[in-house]
Chains A and B, each alone.
Chain A
Amino acid sequence: MFGRKKEKETGREGMGYLSSLPLRVVTVYVPLVVFIILLLFPFYWMGLTTLKPDTELLDLNRFNPFWVTMPTLAHIKKLLFQTSYPRWLWNTMLISVLSTFISIFCAVLAAYAIERLRYKGSRFIGMAIFLAYLVPPSILFIPLATMVFKLGLFDTRLALILTYPTFLIPFCTWLLMGYFRSIPYEIEECAMIDGASRFQVLIKIMLPLAVPGLISAGIFAFTLSWNEFIYALTFISSSENKTVAVGVITELVDGDVYHWGSLMAGALLGSLPVAILYSFFVEHYVSSMTGAVKE
């Protein structure tokens, strides 16, 4: 599952040593540097704009726009103390954590049942769950909005906590099925011969062995729900229940165009939690992404 290990074992370079250094500079390093610069530029720009005072932002002739001469924290301060931003952060965190936990819980049980119990029709259900992963939120949000309204959940965070698992569970189940498949049956059978019940096997044997899978699924689910936009935009109307993505777009952007500083600060701070989480678990993240594609 982890590409890195394989990489080292097989001596990935292959016959790379045959090509000369100048050739490698042109074919590998130059394009790579260009790619990295282009991919990172928007982040640099976000950070730079956050730190620039308004005078520098709006005067491109006196100041070099690619650098900041007098960095200021005014935009961040404004964002944190004059808007509901901290509240949105808290909402997003709460919604993401809860929906991730609900999804993992459901996915563990479902994946174990499909992969190990192999009950009647489990193949079919497995396929159905994969297909559910392909149903995009953009065709579900209208009927969901009417349901949310009828259930009296409109403009509550519960609406999002309950609907996010619909796109998280299929993914997590699919991922965990792959993990459970890689655990040998014999371990389970040994435990059952020693008198463990199915639930004990699941909790004491399978789960500890599937920890990397659980982390992968958790990180991925958390990021997906942190990034979700269309449901949050449709189901939430009052400022105090908004998530970061929706709050930044709907409340920081008002007729006045010159809020760029705090807008960028909002975008930057909203991206940080996922970026930090991601940086700690890069390998898990990559393996879950590529694992889901490979299955």
Chain B
Amino acid sequence: MAQQTQSAVVPPKITFWERFENNRNLLGLFLMLPTAALLVTFLAYPLGLGVWLGLTDTTIGREGVFIGLENYKWLFADSVFWLSVFNTFLYTTVASTIKFGLGLWLALILNQHIPFKSLIRAIILLPWIVPTVLSAVAFWWIYDSQFSIISWSLMKLGFIDQYINFLGEKNNARAAVIIANIWRGVPFVAISLLAGLQTISPILYEAATLDGANKWQQFRHVTLPMLTPIISVVMTFSVLFTFTDFQLIYVLTRGGPINATHLMATLSFQRAIPGGHLGEGAAIAVAMIPFLLAAILFSYFGLQRRAWQQGGGH
């Protein structure tokens, strides 16, 4: 009897709460709940829903019915869609390449011994901090067809004799949005690569110099191989952000002139929200996924491969 009361009084206090607290799996599950709830409801589920919507003819205000691959067939024959695919690739390739080049250059400069280094680093990151939409508004004004400061300066310097139509002409508009994208992306690449550069030990450079390596050889055979892992991650992110860009285009050109700057993201928005064709818009968004995966895999593994080529081959 006495034993029974003891086991009835003491253990219940231990059993539930303490056992729960000491069970990693249960407690882990419990702590994961808020995150899981939010991510499953607003990330995983919409991802699936998007794929489903792409297979229906849903419009705003009307539930769609399943129409199989009809949307994709339609898009396959749609020249505007293919133009947007082309634009997205052009935009991503050109902008990412230049961002990488300039970013690496800037990182190498910042890695030197210069006065006010942390202040300069802070200033350089500013374009990356401020809302893209708002800096895009500034670019919009800089690219204005009548009051552009670039046109004005070039005129005064005598390089051109009439104002440049930055956003109204096909290739000008493409160049203009790419430049704005580069302006915003270079700081991210530069500061991330700088962090990578700072982990390279100066001893390696000293050893290379003693072996008679010149500046270029040091860069080619010490800096680049040491930096490759971080380059691959930074560029994967950069490609990802550029490929899915929406804000810059929406503010600067809304895809115009004559769809010359439409990216897949902006086209998907235009068809789905102002156009009302949710199904078609979702199909375009889903069509981005394989391209996106390919782009990520390419930049990730492409650069990874170069890493062991450099490590093993030379």
Residue A134, interface by CB 8 Å = yes
Residue B230, interface by CB 8 Å = yes
The residues of B that contact A177 with a CB separation of less than 8 Å are none
CA A254 – CA B151 in complex, angstroms? Answer: 24
Contact between B137 and A10, CB atoms less than 8 A apart: no
Residue A11, interface by CB 8 Å = yes
Residue A216, interface by CB 8 Å = no
Contact between B135 and A109, CB atoms less than 8 A apart: no
The residues of B that contact A173 with a CB separation of less than 8 Å are 35
A248 and B50 in contact (CB under 8 A), knowing A142-B268, A229-B247, A289-B191? Answer: no
Residue A4, interface by CB 8 Å = yes
Residue A127, interface by CB 8 Å = no
Contact between A119 and B27, CB atoms less than 8 A apart: yes
- The smallest C-beta distance from B153 to any residue of chain A, in angstroms, reads 9
A32 and B131 in contact (CB under 8 A), knowing A39-B186, A42-B139, A147-B46? Answer: no
Interface size class of B (residues with CB under 8 A): 35 or more
The residues of A that contact B198 with a CB separation of less than 8 Å are 3, 6-7, 12
The residues of A that contact B131 with a CB separation of less than 8 Å are 226-227, 229, 244-245, 270-271, 274
Give per-residue flags for A253-285: 1 if the beta carbon is below 8 A from chain B beta carbons, else 0: 000000010011011101100110011001101
Contact between A117 and B28, CB atoms less than 8 A apart: yes
Stretch in B7-15, B71-79, B199-207, B302-310 touching the partner: B199-207
Contact between A146 and B111, CB atoms less than 8 A apart: no
Residue A230, interface by CB 8 Å = yes
The residues of A that contact B43 with a CB separation of less than 8 Å are 132, 135, 140, 166
Stretch in A43-51, A71-79, A181-189, A203-211 touching the partner: A43-51
Residue A293, interface by CB 8 Å = yes
Task: Please name the residue on chain A nearest to B51 by beta carbon.
Answer: A143
- The smallest C-beta distance from A286 to any residue of chain B, in angstroms, reads 6
Give per-residue flags for A140-181: 1 if the beta carbon is below 8 A from chain B beta carbons, else 0: 111111110000000000000011011001100100000000
A229 and B246 in contact (CB under 8 A), knowing A10-B202, A138-B265, A142-B282? Answer: yes
CA A204 – CA B182 in complex, angstroms? Answer: 44
**22 sampled A-B residue pairs with Cβ under 8 A:** A12-B113, A16-B113, A32-B114, A35-B124, A43-B126, A45-B138, A107-B35, A109-B32, A118-B28, A132-B39, A136-B240, A139-B50, A142-B281, A143-B47, A166-B39, A169-B35, A169-B39, A229-B131, A244-B131, A264-B137, A282-B122, A294-B233
Beyond contacts A132-B43, A278-B122: 10 other A-B pairs, Cβ-Cβ < 8 A, are A112-B31, A143-B47, A143-B50, A146-B49, A166-B43, A223-B129, A227-B131, A263-B141, A266-B134, A270-B134
The 8 closest A-B pairs by CB, nearest first: A119-B28, A290-B195, A136-B244, A14-B202, A13-B113, A138-B265, A113-B31, A143-B49
